[in-house]
Amino acid sequence: MDGCIFCKIAAGDIPSDIMYQDDEFVAFRDIDPQAPLHGVLVPRAHVATLADLADEGLAGRYLQAAAKAARAMGVEASGYRVVVNYGPDGGQLVMHVHMHILGGRALGWPPG
């Protein structure tokens, strides 16, 4: 989608540190990491929010891609967290749905 920063990153029009990719999804290193390993996993196709992820097949593959990305990031053995922010209270700032994949340290719970 025109003007969407994550569409541009997924297309390679804006440089990023790619951590995982396949035909449908790209994970890149977060520019402001909240853990030693912090990837942002996006569908290549523009979908604005979790609530707009209407395609059940895509949604299922997206979750599977999160596990593949975490494996590629090297955090499968130590563990990781997958987070989707939504809406004002959830703190979604970029309107292209994304999963944060966080690992590389023990993560506190509950989140702030």
Report yes or no: 72 and 22 within 8 Å, Cβ to Cβ.
no
What are the residue numbers of the active site? 98
Q: How far is the CB of 6 from ligand 5GP (least distance, A)?
A: 8
The correct pick among 46, 61, 68, 81 for binding Zn ion (CB under 5 A) is 46
Tokens encoding 63: 């979750």
Return all residues near 111 (Cβ < 8 A) that are at least 6 apart. 83
Alpha-carbon distance of 76 to 9, in angstroms, equals 25
Return all residues near 4 (Cβ < 8 A) that are at least 6 apart. 46, 95, 96
Residue 91: contacted member of ligand 5GP, Zn ion, none (CB under 5 to 8 Å, by partner type): ligand 5GP
Residue 4: contacted member of Zn ion, ligand 5GP, none (CB under 5 to 8 Å, by partner type): Zn ion
The yes or no reply on residue 13 touching ligand 5GP (CB under 6 A) is no
DSSP state of 29: E
The correct pick among 20, 28, 62, 80 for binding ligand 5GP (CB under 6 A) is 28
Interface residues toward Zn ion, by CB under 5 A: 1, 4, 6-7, 46, 96
